[in-house]
Amino acid sequence: MKNSTKFIGGIFIILFIGFIWMGFNNSKGDVTGNIISENKDLKVSDQNNKIEIKGSDTIVQLVSNLAEDFSKNNPDTKISVTGGGSGTGIAALLNGEIDLADSSRSIEQKELDLAREKSLDVKEVIIARDMLSVIVNKDNKVDRLTIEELSKIYKGEIKNWNEVGGKDQKITLYGRQSTSGTYTFFLEHVVKGEYSENMRNLEGNQAIFEAVKQDKGGMGYIGIGYLKEGLKNENNKIKAVDVSYDGKDYFSPLDESKINDYPISRGLFQYTKMKPVKGTELYDFIQFELSEQGQKIVEDSGFVKIANSDKQKNNDVLG
């Protein structure tokens, strides 16, 4: 899998770098993707047949797959799917730059507050579920850890594998960048403190996978779709550790039947600036993602389809 923008049939990603620079060079907005505080009504995709999507690197491939399949029956709808991180996607949504933000974390209160300042009525849908996976090198004999142990490792309080039953070897930590929803989710639900200053911040799931594969003392966290894809390789050199709340019952991220018991499961979200209007391309695309056909693509992409409770929440939002 790749975290870069994917060009697919019916999906056109048009880069107006020179024109944007000339046209907006004197504006006050932050071009790095931070949320612009001014209340500007920027509408990049006013065209009815164009959908701009940006955000989570964890699901950029999944959403690209969904967009590709949707385009087969809707060839006139042009869909742009790019990554950059959940925070970057939500910021772009609130700045009026995109139609749909992909996120591997829930929207934060400060983002909702800013949305209200801009008179936006942000809506949330859950398009898939993830069993966030902690990975180590295949040569590492450690194959199970508790949430408490993971927390201490990522805080830098446990520094050697021999402290958790492994070899006398320094632990090398790999994680995501701060704009990543996965970075935030893992921090809030596992670390519950500050990340170790020695953690190496990498741009995407694939980068973490490759780093741990090369580093016998390495540890990282990635979305389940990336783990499943990596395990298909016969030369695979990583493995996922089982995780436990209490040190008694351990659960594997590869056992989807235990998703409700697995300690690091999460929803994967999309956000719109307001309730999608029935009959628009945006509404039809979201409904396709949530359909039986769309959820089959979710599973084929290595993630877990939404639960019945998720379907009810989505129905309440979409009407």
CA 307 – CA 312 distance, rounded (Å): 9
Domain extent, residue 156, equals 133-258
| 112 SS3 class | helix
Q: Is residue 306 in a domain? A: yes
Q: Domain check: are 122 and 143 in the same one?
A: no
Q: What is the pTM of this model?
A: 0.82
Rounded Cα gap, residues 195 and 30, in angstroms:
27
Q: Where are the beta strands (DSSP E) in the chain?
A: 50-55, 78-84, 100-103, 123-131, 133-137, 144-146, 172-176, 200-202, 218-222, 238-240, 242-244, 265-272
CATH code, 164 = 3.40.190.10
Same domain for 251 and 271, yes or no, is no
Residue 272 and residue 233 in one domain: no
Number of domains within the chain: 2
Same domain, residue pair 190 and 249: yes
Residues 177 and 221 in one domain: yes
Is 70 in contact with 48 (CB distance < 8 Å)?
no
Each residue's pLDDT tens digit in the chain (319 positions)?
Answer: 444 444 344 443 333 333 333 333 333 333 333 433 333 333 444 446 899 999 999 999 999 999 999 999 999 999 999 999 999 999 999 999 999 999 999 999 999 999 999 999 999 999 999 999 999 999 999 999 999 999 999 999 999 999 999 999 999 999 999 999 999 999 999 999 999 999 999 999 999 999 999 999 999 999 999 999 999 887 789 999 999 999 999 999 999 999 999 999 999 999 999 999 999 999 999 999 999 999 999 999 999 999 999 999 999 999 8
Considering only CA atoms, which of 298, 278, 296 is closest in space to residue 287?
Answer: 278
- Pick from 208, 237, 258: which residue ends a domain? 258
